[in-house]
Structure 1
């Protein structure tokens, strides 16, 4: 394993409490990454920060440590309502932030509430009604509880927006603004925004709802993990499955993610891999939340070592020891390529990113290379990489999407449906008085 790209700045030299330093040491964090080195000294002095850095480079620790320190600095009076709000675009990312918060805040007297949609409604609501310090969650469910009066935003001292570019992609910006406008003004709180990209829209959001933030950009050449070995193959469409099976056999990955663009492709690939002896988990956008968490836990605990995923899993998941990422389909959004391959080589661990430049998505590669500023080497497909005998899956019934009863459209009782009556618009349009079926002429 290669060492993570770290700076010479040590956490112990920053203005962090002894309790935080103790938890950092136990977690094995001694030196800062570049984004931590540049953002933490500012945030610890109550300066707003909008930070851009590649996924997997320590953004989460940056905003958690700054949030913790701000809250423990101001414990003069007991406040019954949350004092910090951390917003994430996806439930998976919210869950991961909460896990990291429990580790880094191990020795602090802070209470967390994890809030996201899809499950545990009453449990989360009950948690919010206790004296929590920090809410971590997704905007929709948080707004739902806020409108019920489960908590107030009047005492918020720290606001964090993580993966802000993804917030725009998923249409959450109206929700974000709804929450921000109900907090104390920006100058009365610490505002931290982190994102893999600081687009024009994200920067505009920062200046609108933050207090003169310092923009920090960690350039891609600083943080693109050179431990990721990027390669590509150019298979015909009918070679993609034999090639993937051959590469899995050749590389014997410790833990791998195969990214596809559509649910339909994920299901087809799932069937083929299982038919050829692989135990697979499949993650797509419409997988119910409880099942999704069970699949991710199985993957993290090595009960399943191969995950097929659409881009719902591309951001925010910190799953250790993913040795290989396969772009079975090249992403159509160049930024998604960066987020996908960022699932391997986390914090500098080595990894492989293997992409298929197939007939359908080949047009994406030039844009990807322009965006990352480098060429992805193309490797020729040798016969030994193609599995000759691919076991075809048995024909299955089409997978049916389960729609909850409460979301199904109501059906009108059949007896209530009246036949449509034809009414001519004018006398000219009226049917003639000629008989409907005129008699046939007599044969002589």
Structure 2
């Protein structure tokens, strides 16, 4: 129960109202360490309560040490995308609804004037994307010196998106902070570890092992496609299946998103679409249309692979394969959330087989190949075998091999 963490009754009451009865594995790990004031480096799969794991200690900090004078935010949460920032802010509002904690959001893609109140009146907790926030810091409209708690959500994705310099500037500006926390679905790659070492002070490393109830059960398979036209025919066929109740279709380029949206409309499959250059109000409208069931298909670029929180997504379909294996994992994480079952289907052309090999090595499993009878591919798969793991030889084996080589060379010299 959440009461074991000495959270104020206002927060416990809000959790009850939301329906959070029992902490998830990541929350059980993070809450005691974070509330003890330690820096945290945490990893947990998507859909396992990661957001509440950092919002609850942040809110408790603000309640334990009340503000003594008006000023800039004391808690800053940085996120890679606008969508994720809005969703974190929405959950922050729910968690702190019984308190006087004031939450604000600053992101790109909206009118500068819409942030005036946050920049000129007292805000306690700020959720922001790095680029727009740094603009305000550079223009001396925002003072990061009052930040006491700095939180990075999906830090690896922020680094992948090229925010490293921007984030480091914000880190430098918030040098007076007392505590930092870094969260992500995965903590792989030298870049994230190096960054964590630079910004965190003797962090506790926490990696959740979700319970069976929390774990996503995602069925994954692929269909081979001869070309783009064949791939679209497969997509349309899949989206018309009865079991596809709500789907996200991923493409790599915004031109492909627009192409698919038009073609699906022609197939009488209404959809919303989402890509990086859209104004924020249009992006919000697209997500809302899917959330409230006006349409059941969202076509998106990878801007939606992180932070998109739409309930009950039954299927994720990769029309284009992602360029990296970890992005594949983030895409399919949009389905099968909070213990629900989900399905991830990839439409694969011959040139995609290299990345399929990388994904299969990353997952340590082979993706099943499936066929739709009336849309069978004409070309056979270019098979790329999985690399066998190298087995380290024991000292005795090395010695025996050296002896064998020595004998062979001795015979040759005779």
**TM-score using structure 2 length:** 0.86
Distance in 1 separating the partners of 2:213 and 2:43: 11
Q: 1:169 Cα deviation (Å)?
A: 1.0
In structure 2, the residue corresponding to 1:180 is in which secondary structure? Answer: helix
Could you list the per-position Cα deviations for residues 316-359 of structure 1 after superposition, in whole angstroms to 9, with x for gaps in the alignment? 11111111111122211111111111111221122111112222
2:121 equivalent to 1:130: yes
2:283 equivalent to 1:292: yes
**Residue aligning to 2:185:** 196
**Residue aligning to 1:271:** 262
Distance in 2 separating the partners of 1:226 and 1:101: 24
2:35 equivalent to 1:35: no
In structure 1, the residue corresponding to 2:202 is in which secondary structure? Answer: coil
Could you list the per-position Cα deviations for residues 45-83 of structure 1 after superposition, in whole angstroms to 9, with x for gaps in the alignment? 111101112222211111111110111110162342211
In structure 2, the residue corresponding to 1:376 is in which secondary structure? Answer: coil
In structure 1, the residue corresponding to 2:83 is in which secondary structure? Answer: helix
Whichever structure has more helix as a proportion of its residues is: 2
Q: Choose from 100, 118, 128 the match for 1:109.
A: 100
Q: Larger C-alpha radius of gyration, 1 or 2?
A: 1
**Residue aligning to 1:213:** 203
2:224 equivalent to 1:234: yes
Counting matched residue pairs gives 375
Distance in 1 separating the partners of 2:20 and 2:288: 24
Could you list the per-position Cα deviations for residues 334-387 of structure 1 after superposition, in whole angstroms to 9, with x for gaps in the alignment? 11111111111221122111112222322211111111222222223322899x
**Residue aligning to 1:368:** 359
Is the CA contact (8 Å cut-off) linking 1:89 and 1:166 kept in structure 2?
yes
Distance in 2 separating the partners of 1:372 and 1:43: 31
Distance in 1 separating the partners of 2:283 and 2:35: 36
Residues 315-324 or 377-386, more deviating = 377-386
**TM-score using structure 1 length:** 0.80
**Residue aligning to 2:141:** 150
2:42 equivalent to 1:48: no
In structure 2, the residue corresponding to 1:161 is in which secondary structure? Answer: strand
Q: 1:144 Cα deviation (Å)?
A: 1.6
Q: 1:264 Cα deviation (Å)?
A: 2.6
Could you list the per-position Cα deviations for residues 99-118 of structure 1 after superposition, in whole angstroms to 9, with x for gaps in the alignment? 11111111121111110111
After superposition, the Cα gap between the structure-2 partners of 1:164 and 1:17, relative to the gap in structure 1 and judged at 3 Å, is same
**Residue aligning to 1:380:** 371
After superposition, the Cα gap between the structure-2 partners of 1:372 and 1:153, relative to the gap in structure 1 and judged at 3 Å, is same
After superposition, the Cα gap between the structure-2 partners of 1:115 and 1:77, relative to the gap in structure 1 and judged at 3 Å, is same
User: Which structure 1 residue ranges, 5 or more long, are not aligned?
Assistant: 1-9, 387-444
In structure 2, the residue corresponding to 1:230 is in which secondary structure? Answer: strand
